[in-house]
Structure 1
Amino acid sequence: MSRSMRFYAFNFGIPLALAVVVFLLFDLTRIDIAFNDLFYDPVTRTFPLDHVHLFEKITHKWARIIPNWTGEIAIIGALLSFLWPRLKAEKHSKLIGFLEKIKLAPVLRFATKHRRDFLYVVFAFSISTGVIHYLKGHTSVYCPIETTQYGGKIEHKEWYQNFDLLKVAGDGRCWPGGHASGGFTMLALYFVARRYRWRYSKALMYGSLALGFVYGTTRVLQGWHYMSHTFWAGIFVWLACLLTALAFYGRARLEVPVTQAPLQATDGALSRAGSLPQ
């Protein structure tokens, strides 16, 4: 199997195969409900963990810090990347000297060098979030705690029963898991690491996947999602980050094995293929 075929088989084949498995195993059965039943108290008709303030604060509110700060740093880095090239030695020598003195010049040079990476993270986060919001609005799935199964007022329906391609399907906003998708957006950093063939890129991928699953599962324990919502969020965010990475970096750079030593000639040829700085 050629390198390109392996690349597509892994990056597209596995998530698409997982989508089929999740659809058959969860969406067409009652496994989701059976799993949520484990954390539901039929006597009080509540999910006990939904009322634990500390649990809610740590797993719901504080958990947003990691993806939020990452996105904000990427936006700041992208904006700063346009400043250094505008400073000319013959015109702005005093300003450049001042920036060097306060140690800001190296930051600006770093941002300029990695402009493409900062812009990629910004776009990957935005596209991933946009995809999740589109699916939420066009499937109108209600959260477990809002359904009659768990003391709510809305009948439970699967996403494919309400899906509407062109218009908002209703008021439900639970599928895919939005909170889980926030953790999964950190996968964008994995594709940046793959671009540079960083030896720990797989660890970054596993860490991002784990973060998304932790975010999603804690919301399941509180009755605000089904487990399948987390899987679907991971699948869609992975594909969004992957397609954005292909647009920014190209397959040739992303498919090079991370265990291979950097090749200067290859790096030079690939960097010259794009108009943005490395």
Structure 2
Amino acid sequence: MNHTRYRFYLINIGIPLLIALGLFLAFDLTNLDVLISDALYNTTTHEFVLGHNKLFENFTHRWARIIPNWTGEAAMIGAFLSFVWPLFRADKHASIIAWMERTRVAQFLQFLTRHRRDLLFVVVSFAVTTGFIHYFKSHTSVFCPVETTLYGGIEEKREWFENFNLLHEAGKGRCWPGGHASGGFTMMALYFVALRYRWRHAKAVLVATLLLGFFYGTTRIFQGWHFMSHTPWAGVIVWFSMFFTAMAFYGRARLDPDYVAPDRARTAPATT
């Protein structure tokens, strides 16, 4: 039991912390971010390669928001409707229930009621994640590449830890971590729902949501609106906010595929 518990926390907390340390050492303590952005910046036109491409902007930034936005809105509507079915009583609303069963509205409402916890988890995890991202943005005051003196702006480039203020806003910069990337990473909420039900494709859901977040964030680098490290940093912050919210909603027993209930462990036959 101890082995599975340690493994669970190592995977879900230890590895993300190691990734965060790697990001800090590889990007925040070096000039790697600037080297990558320099390669995408045209010193003759003083523009980033896709900085003013409207189609690219629409496809990767404006239209792409539909996925997390619609997911969050659908979860909110579903969570609200999940309280509707329990309001009906057979002795008082027989005709309405009969109509809803004929039109399959009853089955839909019953489905939402059964999955109320999951719908509420998606709503709350989206809200918690958004709150954390906005907190770090305002309490680090990091400016985007195009806003810095390196690429034609007026602001000094500084790392997030140089400006970090725990209790108060650090300034007007709002570029770290990547907000657009975090929008894609919030879809990791679906991974934790899949994990709860031991769905065999849960890891595929995780990979898909990670790729979505990296796609969202990386495209902004080509426009000069983020440094490369802003995207994986967003992923780390979203992961922790999602994981701890999922733990609050479901607990380790639901999220750990190797979890064995104590009573089952005591009654399990010994193996030789």
Find out whether 1:54 has 2:55 as its counterpart. Answer: yes
Taking the TM superposition and a 5 Å limit, the aligned residue runs for 1:1-278 are 2-257=3-258
Inter-partner Cα distance in structure 2 for 1:98 and 1:170: 58
Aligned-pair CA distance for 1:48:
2.8
Inter-partner Cα distance in structure 1 for 2:188 and 2:258: 18
Q: State, as a whole percentage, how many aligned pairs show the same letter.
A: 58
* Alpha-carbon displacement from aligned partner over 1:26-63 (angstroms, at most 9, x marks no partner): 00100001011111001111113011110000000011
Over 2 Å off, 4+ runs: none
Aligned-pair CA distance for 1:87:
0.7
Q: Kindly indicate whether the alpha-carbon contact (under 8 Å) linking 2:4 and 2:258 is maintained by their aligned counterparts in 1.
A: no
- TM-score (ref. length: structure 2): 0.94
The one-letter amino acid of 1:97's match is A
* Alpha-carbon displacement from aligned partner over 1:106-157 (angstroms, at most 9, x marks no partner): 1100000000000000011000010000000010000001000001110101
Q: Kindly indicate whether the alpha-carbon contact (under 8 Å) linking 1:197 and 1:257 is maintained by their aligned counterparts in 2.
A: no
Aligned-pair CA distance for 1:253:
1.2
Inter-partner Cα distance in structure 1 for 2:150 and 2:258: 48
Query: What is the DSSP-based 3-state SS (H/G/I as helix, E as strand, rest coil) of the residue aligned with 2:225?
Result: coil
* Alpha-carbon displacement from aligned partner over 1:240-261 (angstroms, at most 9, x marks no partner): 0000000000001110249x9x
Q: Which residue of 2 aligns with 1:275?
A: none
Inter-partner Cα distance in structure 1 for 2:40 and 2:235: 23
* Alpha-carbon displacement from aligned partner over 1:54-87 (angstroms, at most 9, x marks no partner): 0000000011010001101110110011010111
Aligned-pair CA distance for 1:101:
2.4
Q: Kindly indicate whether the alpha-carbon contact (under 8 Å) linking 2:190 and 2:205 is maintained by their aligned counterparts in 1.
A: yes
Q: Kindly indicate whether the alpha-carbon contact (under 8 Å) linking 2:133 and 2:237 is maintained by their aligned counterparts in 1.
A: yes
Inter-partner Cα distance in structure 1 for 2:101 and 2:224: 53
Inter-partner Cα distance in structure 2 for 1:95 and 1:171: 55
How many residues are treated as equivalent by the alignment?
262
Query: What is the DSSP-based 3-state SS (H/G/I as helix, E as strand, rest coil) of the residue aligned with 1:186?
Result: helix
* Alpha-carbon displacement from aligned partner over 1:181-200 (angstroms, at most 9, x marks no partner): 00000001000000000000
Ranges in structure 1 where 5+ consecutive residues have no aligned partner: 267-278
Query: What is the DSSP-based 3-state SS (H/G/I as helix, E as strand, rest coil) of the residue aligned with 1:50?
Result: coil
The one-letter amino acid of 1:67's match is P
Q: Kindly indicate whether the alpha-carbon contact (under 8 Å) linking 1:135 and 1:176 is maintained by their aligned counterparts in 2.
A: yes
Q: Kindly indicate whether the alpha-carbon contact (under 8 Å) linking 1:217 and 1:227 is maintained by their aligned counterparts in 2.
A: yes
